[in-house]
A = this chain, B = another copy of it.
Amino acid sequence: MATIYDIAKAAGVTATTVSYVLSGKGSISAATRERVLQYAQELGYRPNLIARSLIKQETHTIGLVIPHITNPFYAEIAEILERRAYAAGFRTFITNTYEDERFGKELLDDLASRRVDGIIALPGGIALQALESMNASGLLVVCCLWEEEEKQTISPSIEFDFLTGGQLVARHLLESGHRRIGLIVDGIPDGRVDHHLRFSGCLQVLAEAGIPLEPDLLQWGDSSLQSGKLAAERLLALPEPPTAIFATNDQMAIGAINAAWQCGLALPRDLSVVGFDDILMAPFTAPPLTTISIDKDALISSAMSVLMSMIEGKPVTLPAPLAPNLMVRESTAPPRARGDGP
Protein backbone atom coordinates (compact mmCIF):
# COMPACT_ATOMS: atom_id res chain seq x y z
CA MET A 1 0.00 0.00 0.00
CA ALA A 2 1.30 3.40 -0.98
CA THR A 3 2.96 5.64 1.59
CA ILE A 4 3.63 9.36 1.55
CA TYR A 5 7.15 8.50 0.37
CA ASP A 6 5.76 6.86 -2.73
CA ILE A 7 3.71 9.94 -3.44
CA ALA A 8 6.67 12.19 -2.69
CA LYS A 9 8.91 10.33 -5.08
CA ALA A 10 6.30 10.36 -7.84
CA ALA A 11 5.61 14.05 -7.38
CA GLY A 12 9.23 15.00 -6.99
CA VAL A 13 8.87 16.50 -3.53
CA THR A 14 9.63 15.36 0.01
CA ALA A 15 7.42 13.47 2.37
CA THR A 16 6.97 16.58 4.47
CA THR A 17 5.37 18.38 1.60
CA VAL A 18 3.04 15.50 1.00
CA SER A 19 2.16 15.41 4.66
CA TYR A 20 1.39 19.11 4.59
CA VAL A 21 -0.78 18.80 1.52
CA LEU A 22 -2.69 15.88 2.95
CA SER A 23 -3.23 17.50 6.32
CA GLY A 24 -3.91 20.95 4.89
CA LYS A 25 -1.28 22.42 7.18
CA GLY A 26 1.74 24.50 6.20
CA SER A 27 1.67 26.58 3.07
CA ILE A 28 2.00 24.80 -0.23
CA SER A 29 1.76 26.22 -3.72
CA ALA A 30 -1.37 25.38 -5.59
CA ALA A 31 0.70 23.66 -8.26
CA THR A 32 2.43 21.13 -6.00
CA ARG A 33 -0.75 20.61 -4.02
CA GLU A 34 -2.50 19.62 -7.22
CA ARG A 35 0.32 17.35 -8.25
CA VAL A 36 0.52 15.64 -4.87
CA LEU A 37 -3.22 15.14 -4.67
CA GLN A 38 -3.15 13.76 -8.18
CA TYR A 39 -0.56 11.12 -7.33
CA ALA A 40 -2.19 10.28 -4.03
CA GLN A 41 -5.34 9.53 -5.95
CA GLU A 42 -3.53 7.56 -8.59
CA LEU A 43 -1.63 5.44 -6.14
CA GLY A 44 -4.76 4.75 -4.11
CA TYR A 45 -3.16 6.25 -1.06
CA ARG A 46 -4.80 5.65 2.31
CA PRO A 47 -3.29 7.33 5.33
CA ASN A 48 -1.86 4.88 7.82
CA LEU A 49 -3.71 5.66 11.01
CA ILE A 50 -1.45 3.31 12.91
CA ALA A 51 1.58 5.43 12.18
CA ARG A 52 -0.33 8.58 12.92
CA SER A 53 -1.56 7.14 16.20
CA LEU A 54 1.95 6.26 17.25
CA ILE A 55 3.24 9.76 16.86
CA LYS A 56 0.15 11.63 17.97
CA GLN A 57 -0.27 9.42 21.02
CA GLU A 58 -3.96 9.07 20.32
CA THR A 59 -5.84 6.46 18.37
CA HIS A 60 -9.22 8.08 18.00
CA THR A 61 -10.80 4.89 19.21
CA ILE A 62 -12.90 4.26 22.26
CA GLY A 63 -13.86 0.99 23.87
CA LEU A 64 -17.37 0.03 24.85
CA VAL A 65 -17.58 -2.72 27.43
CA ILE A 66 -20.94 -4.40 27.84
CA PRO A 67 -22.11 -7.81 29.01
CA HIS A 68 -23.83 -9.04 25.85
CA ILE A 69 -24.41 -7.40 22.52
CA THR A 70 -27.25 -9.88 21.92
CA ASN A 71 -29.22 -8.23 24.68
CA PRO A 72 -31.08 -5.64 22.59
CA PHE A 73 -30.69 -3.06 25.32
CA TYR A 74 -26.93 -3.11 24.88
CA ALA A 75 -27.17 -3.33 21.11
CA GLU A 76 -29.16 -0.12 21.13
CA ILE A 77 -26.59 1.54 23.33
CA ALA A 78 -23.82 0.29 21.10
CA GLU A 79 -25.47 1.69 18.01
CA ILE A 80 -26.06 5.08 19.54
CA LEU A 81 -22.51 5.22 20.81
CA GLU A 82 -21.01 4.07 17.54
CA ARG A 83 -22.90 6.81 15.76
CA ARG A 84 -21.99 9.57 18.15
CA ALA A 85 -18.39 8.48 18.40
CA TYR A 86 -18.01 8.27 14.65
CA ALA A 87 -19.46 11.73 14.26
CA ALA A 88 -16.77 12.93 16.66
CA GLY A 89 -14.09 11.17 14.64
CA PHE A 90 -13.79 8.11 16.86
CA ARG A 91 -14.17 4.42 16.11
CA THR A 92 -15.58 2.07 18.70
CA PHE A 93 -14.36 -1.28 19.90
CA ILE A 94 -17.43 -3.07 21.19
CA THR A 95 -16.50 -5.82 23.61
CA ASN A 96 -18.62 -8.35 25.49
CA THR A 97 -17.70 -9.56 28.94
CA TYR A 98 -20.32 -12.30 29.02
CA GLU A 99 -20.66 -11.28 32.67
CA ASP A 100 -17.31 -12.88 33.36
CA GLU A 101 -15.09 -10.67 35.49
CA ARG A 102 -11.91 -12.47 34.56
CA PHE A 103 -12.71 -12.03 30.92
CA GLY A 104 -13.74 -8.45 31.54
CA LYS A 105 -10.36 -7.72 33.08
CA GLU A 106 -8.67 -9.26 30.07
CA LEU A 107 -10.74 -7.10 27.74
CA LEU A 108 -9.87 -3.93 29.60
CA ASP A 109 -6.18 -4.82 29.47
CA ASP A 110 -6.41 -5.47 25.77
CA LEU A 111 -8.15 -2.18 25.15
CA ALA A 112 -5.43 -0.48 27.16
CA SER A 113 -2.75 -2.13 25.06
CA ARG A 114 -4.50 -0.98 21.94
CA ARG A 115 -4.29 2.48 23.39
CA VAL A 116 -7.93 3.38 23.08
CA ASP A 117 -8.39 7.00 24.03
CA GLY A 118 -11.12 6.12 26.49
CA ILE A 119 -13.58 3.49 27.62
CA ILE A 120 -17.28 3.51 28.33
CA ALA A 121 -18.18 0.70 30.67
CA LEU A 122 -21.53 -0.76 31.63
CA PRO A 123 -21.91 -3.04 34.63
CA GLY A 124 -21.78 -6.81 34.40
CA GLY A 125 -18.40 -8.47 34.10
CA ILE A 126 -16.37 -5.55 35.37
CA ALA A 127 -14.91 -5.83 38.85
CA LEU A 128 -14.26 -2.62 40.74
CA GLN A 129 -10.73 -3.80 41.18
CA ALA A 130 -10.29 -3.92 37.41
CA LEU A 131 -11.55 -0.36 37.18
CA GLU A 132 -9.03 0.69 39.78
CA SER A 133 -6.20 -0.85 37.84
CA MET A 134 -7.31 1.02 34.73
CA ASN A 135 -7.33 4.28 36.63
CA ALA A 136 -3.90 3.50 37.98
CA SER A 137 -2.53 3.24 34.46
CA GLY A 138 -4.18 6.49 33.52
CA LEU A 139 -6.80 4.96 31.28
CA LEU A 140 -9.91 7.09 30.99
CA VAL A 141 -13.06 5.21 31.91
CA VAL A 142 -16.61 6.47 32.14
CA CYS A 143 -19.09 4.17 33.85
CA CYS A 144 -22.77 4.11 33.00
CA LEU A 145 -25.82 2.75 34.78
CA TRP A 146 -23.92 1.26 37.70
CA GLU A 147 -26.30 -0.44 40.09
CA GLU A 148 -23.96 -2.08 42.59
CA GLU A 149 -24.89 -2.24 46.22
CA GLU A 150 -21.57 -0.67 47.10
CA LYS A 151 -22.13 2.65 45.44
CA GLN A 152 -18.48 3.59 45.07
CA THR A 153 -17.62 3.72 41.40
CA ILE A 154 -14.13 5.17 41.37
CA SER A 155 -14.50 6.39 37.80
CA PRO A 156 -16.82 9.18 36.68
CA SER A 157 -20.24 7.67 36.34
CA ILE A 158 -23.47 8.46 34.52
CA GLU A 159 -26.21 7.39 36.88
CA PHE A 160 -29.81 6.36 36.38
CA ASP A 161 -32.41 6.52 39.08
CA PHE A 162 -33.17 2.81 39.18
CA LEU A 163 -34.75 3.07 42.62
CA THR A 164 -37.45 5.41 41.40
CA GLY A 165 -37.87 3.18 38.37
CA GLY A 166 -38.72 0.25 40.59
CA GLN A 167 -41.08 2.43 42.57
CA LEU A 168 -42.92 3.59 39.47
CA VAL A 169 -43.56 0.01 38.46
CA ALA A 170 -44.90 -0.95 41.86
CA ARG A 171 -47.15 2.09 42.04
CA HIS A 172 -48.49 1.47 38.58
CA LEU A 173 -49.42 -2.09 39.45
CA LEU A 174 -50.91 -1.12 42.80
CA GLU A 175 -52.97 1.61 41.20
CA SER A 176 -54.24 -0.87 38.65
CA GLY A 177 -55.53 -2.91 41.57
CA HIS A 178 -52.93 -5.66 41.76
CA ARG A 179 -52.08 -7.01 45.17
CA ARG A 180 -50.43 -10.28 44.28
CA ILE A 181 -47.34 -9.35 42.30
CA GLY A 182 -44.68 -11.77 41.14
CA LEU A 183 -41.11 -10.54 40.81
CA ILE A 184 -38.46 -11.78 38.39
CA VAL A 185 -35.17 -10.22 39.39
CA ASP A 186 -31.70 -10.51 37.92
CA GLY A 187 -29.60 -11.89 40.71
CA ILE A 188 -28.52 -14.99 42.56
CA PRO A 189 -30.46 -16.49 45.49
CA ASP A 190 -28.64 -15.48 48.67
CA GLY A 191 -26.03 -13.81 46.49
CA ARG A 192 -25.49 -10.64 44.54
CA VAL A 193 -28.59 -8.93 43.20
CA ASP A 194 -27.58 -7.32 39.94
CA HIS A 195 -30.78 -5.36 39.62
CA HIS A 196 -30.60 -4.37 43.23
CA LEU A 197 -32.09 -0.89 43.03
CA ARG A 198 -35.03 -1.65 40.73
CA PHE A 199 -35.85 -4.48 43.10
CA SER A 200 -35.50 -2.34 46.23
CA GLY A 201 -37.64 0.45 44.84
CA CYS A 202 -40.42 -1.96 44.02
CA LEU A 203 -40.21 -3.75 47.38
CA GLN A 204 -40.27 -0.50 49.23
CA VAL A 205 -43.50 0.68 47.65
CA LEU A 206 -45.13 -2.69 48.15
CA ALA A 207 -44.11 -2.68 51.80
CA GLU A 208 -45.55 0.78 52.25
CA ALA A 209 -48.80 -0.51 50.82
CA GLY A 210 -48.74 -3.25 53.42
CA ILE A 211 -47.80 -5.99 51.00
CA PRO A 212 -44.87 -7.97 52.32
CA LEU A 213 -42.92 -10.06 49.84
CA GLU A 214 -44.03 -13.65 49.82
CA PRO A 215 -40.91 -15.77 49.12
CA ASP A 216 -42.69 -17.79 46.43
CA LEU A 217 -43.43 -14.61 44.52
CA LEU A 218 -39.75 -13.80 44.13
CA GLN A 219 -37.94 -15.64 41.37
CA TRP A 220 -34.40 -15.12 40.15
CA GLY A 221 -33.21 -14.74 36.58
CA ASP A 222 -30.13 -13.71 34.65
CA SER A 223 -31.63 -11.14 32.27
CA SER A 224 -32.04 -13.71 29.50
CA LEU A 225 -35.25 -14.58 27.67
CA GLN A 226 -35.03 -18.15 28.83
CA SER A 227 -34.54 -17.27 32.49
CA GLY A 228 -37.56 -14.98 32.36
CA LYS A 229 -39.64 -17.69 30.84
CA LEU A 230 -38.63 -20.29 33.40
CA ALA A 231 -39.15 -17.92 36.30
CA ALA A 232 -42.61 -17.01 35.02
CA GLU A 233 -43.49 -20.66 34.67
CA ARG A 234 -42.64 -21.15 38.32
CA LEU A 235 -44.79 -18.19 39.29
CA LEU A 236 -47.74 -19.32 37.20
CA ALA A 237 -47.54 -22.81 38.64
CA LEU A 238 -48.07 -21.54 42.19
CA PRO A 239 -51.27 -22.63 43.95
CA GLU A 240 -52.23 -19.00 43.97
CA PRO A 241 -50.43 -17.41 41.02
CA PRO A 242 -49.79 -13.66 40.84
CA THR A 243 -52.06 -11.37 38.83
CA ALA A 244 -49.08 -9.34 37.69
CA ILE A 245 -45.39 -9.94 37.07
CA PHE A 246 -42.59 -7.40 37.18
CA ALA A 247 -39.43 -8.57 35.46
CA THR A 248 -36.42 -6.33 36.00
CA ASN A 249 -35.56 -6.22 32.34
CA ASP A 250 -37.47 -6.44 29.08
CA GLN A 251 -35.92 -9.67 27.90
CA MET A 252 -37.14 -11.50 30.98
CA ALA A 253 -40.52 -9.82 30.60
CA ILE A 254 -40.75 -11.10 27.05
CA GLY A 255 -39.90 -14.55 28.34
CA ALA A 256 -42.69 -14.15 30.88
CA ILE A 257 -45.20 -13.16 28.20
CA ASN A 258 -44.20 -16.25 26.31
CA ALA A 259 -44.71 -18.42 29.39
CA ALA A 260 -48.14 -16.92 29.89
CA TRP A 261 -49.04 -17.67 26.30
CA GLN A 262 -47.92 -21.26 26.75
CA CYS A 263 -50.19 -21.47 29.80
CA GLY A 264 -53.09 -20.32 27.69
CA LEU A 265 -53.46 -17.03 29.50
CA ALA A 266 -54.71 -13.98 27.64
CA LEU A 267 -52.80 -10.82 28.43
CA PRO A 268 -53.51 -8.42 30.00
CA ARG A 269 -56.84 -9.91 31.06
CA ASP A 270 -55.39 -12.88 32.92
CA LEU A 271 -52.00 -11.46 33.75
CA SER A 272 -50.19 -8.15 33.64
CA VAL A 273 -46.48 -8.01 32.80
CA VAL A 274 -44.06 -5.15 33.27
CA GLY A 275 -40.46 -4.95 32.08
CA PHE A 276 -37.57 -2.52 32.44
CA ASP A 277 -35.35 -0.87 29.78
CA ASP A 278 -37.85 -0.09 27.02
CA ILE A 279 -35.99 -1.83 24.23
CA LEU A 280 -37.04 -1.17 20.65
CA MET A 281 -38.98 -4.41 20.67
CA ALA A 282 -41.08 -3.42 23.68
CA PRO A 283 -43.85 -1.67 21.71
CA PHE A 284 -44.00 -4.67 19.37
CA THR A 285 -44.60 -7.56 21.71
CA ALA A 286 -48.09 -9.05 21.82
CA PRO A 287 -49.38 -7.29 23.82
CA PRO A 288 -47.06 -4.27 23.77
CA LEU A 289 -44.98 -4.18 26.91
CA THR A 290 -45.42 -1.74 29.75
CA THR A 291 -41.93 -0.90 30.92
CA ILE A 292 -39.56 1.69 32.32
CA SER A 293 -37.80 3.72 29.70
CA ILE A 294 -34.13 4.60 29.99
CA ASP A 295 -33.21 7.50 27.75
CA LYS A 296 -30.31 5.92 25.91
CA ASP A 297 -29.60 8.94 23.77
CA ALA A 298 -29.25 11.15 26.82
CA LEU A 299 -27.16 8.50 28.53
CA ILE A 300 -24.67 8.13 25.71
CA SER A 301 -24.68 11.81 25.01
CA SER A 302 -23.65 12.46 28.61
CA ALA A 303 -21.14 9.65 28.66
CA MET A 304 -19.50 10.88 25.47
CA SER A 305 -19.32 14.47 26.56
CA VAL A 306 -17.79 13.48 29.89
CA LEU A 307 -15.31 11.22 28.14
CA MET A 308 -14.42 13.87 25.58
CA SER A 309 -13.79 16.37 28.34
CA MET A 310 -11.52 13.89 30.04
CA ILE A 311 -9.64 13.19 26.82
CA GLU A 312 -9.17 16.87 26.19
CA GLY A 313 -8.05 17.34 29.77
CA LYS A 314 -10.91 19.67 30.54
CA PRO A 315 -12.70 19.64 33.88
CA VAL A 316 -15.70 17.34 33.87
CA THR A 317 -19.06 18.05 35.38
CA LEU A 318 -21.18 14.98 35.89
CA PRO A 319 -24.82 15.30 34.92
CA ALA A 320 -27.61 14.56 37.37
CA PRO A 321 -28.88 10.98 37.39
CA LEU A 322 -31.21 10.23 34.51
CA ALA A 323 -34.88 9.98 35.38
CA PRO A 324 -36.96 6.88 34.67
CA ASN A 325 -40.09 7.13 32.59
CA LEU A 326 -42.97 4.70 32.87
CA MET A 327 -44.27 3.64 29.47
CA VAL A 328 -47.75 2.28 29.97
CA ARG A 329 -48.72 -0.07 27.18
CA GLU A 330 -51.23 -2.86 26.80
CA SER A 331 -49.45 -5.56 28.79
CA THR A 332 -50.91 -4.15 32.01
CA ALA A 333 -54.53 -3.79 33.08
CA PRO A 334 -56.55 -4.20 36.25
CA PRO A 335 -56.69 -7.79 37.47
CA ARG A 336 -59.71 -9.87 36.63
CA ALA A 337 -62.11 -9.88 39.56
CA ARG A 338 -62.30 -13.28 41.25
CA GLY A 339 -64.59 -15.53 39.32
CA ASP A 340 -64.68 -13.24 36.29
CA GLY A 341 -65.71 -15.26 33.29
CA PRO A 342 -63.05 -16.87 31.07
B76 touches A70 (CB 8 A): yes
Separation of A114 and B91 alpha carbons in the complex (Å) = 10
Encoded as 1 (CB less than 8 Å from any B CB) or 0, chain A from 25 to 65 comes to 00000000000000000001011111101100001000000
Specify which chain B residues have a CB less than 8 angstroms from the CB of A229 in the assembled complex: 284
Specify which chain B residues have a CB less than 8 angstroms from the CB of A136 in the assembled complex: 44
Given A69-B82, A94-B82, A286-B286, A254 and B281 touching (CB < 8 A)?
A: yes
Can you report 10 residue pairs joining A to B where beta carbons are below 8 Å apart? A47-B113, A50-B59, A50-B114, A69-B79, A69-B82, A69-B94, A70-B76, A75-B75, A79-B96, A261-B286
Is there a chain B Cβ closer than 8 Å to A95's Cβ? yes
Specify which chain B residues have a CB less than 8 angstroms from the CB of A267 in the assembled complex: 286
Encoded as 1 (CB less than 8 Å from any B CB) or 0, chain A from 240 to 273 comes to 0000000000000011011011000001000000
| Closest B residue to A138 using CB positions | B1
A46 touches B82 (CB 8 A): no
Query: How many whole Å from A293's CB to the nearest CB in chain B?
Result: 16
Given A225-B281, A258-B288, A288-B258, A93 and B91 touching (CB < 8 A)?
A: yes
Is there a chain B Cβ closer than 8 Å to A152's Cβ? no
B50 touches A115 (CB 8 A): yes
A49 touches B114 (CB 8 A): yes
A115 touches B75 (CB 8 A): no
Residues of A at under 8 Å CB distance from B?
1, 44, 46-51, 53-54, 59, 68-70, 72, 75-76, 78-79, 82-83, 91-96, 109-110, 112-115, 133, 136-138, 225-226, 229, 254-255, 257-258, 260-261, 267, 280-281, 283-288
Q: Please tell me which one of the listed residues B49, B82, B94, B286 contacts residue A258 in the complex, with CB atoms under 8 A apart.
A: B286
Separation of A68 and B83 alpha carbons in the complex (Å) = 11
B48 touches A51 (CB 8 A): no
Specify which chain B residues have a CB less than 8 angstroms from the CB of A258 in the assembled complex: 283-286, 288
Most chain B Cβ neighbours within 10 Å, of A59, A261, A288: A261
Given A69-B78, A93-B93, A96-B82, A48 and B115 touching (CB < 8 A)?
A: yes
Specify which chain B residues have a CB less than 8 angstroms from the CB of A225 in the assembled complex: 280-281, 283-284
Specify which chain B residues have a CB less than 8 angstroms from the CB of A50 in the assembled complex: 50, 53-54, 59, 114-115
Q: Please tell me which one of the listed residues B49, B83, B91, B260 contacts residue A286 in the complex, with CB atoms under 8 A apart.
A: B260
Query: How many whole Å from A106's CB to the nearest CB in chain B?
Result: 9
Most chain B Cβ neighbours within 10 Å, of A75, A93, A133, A254: A75
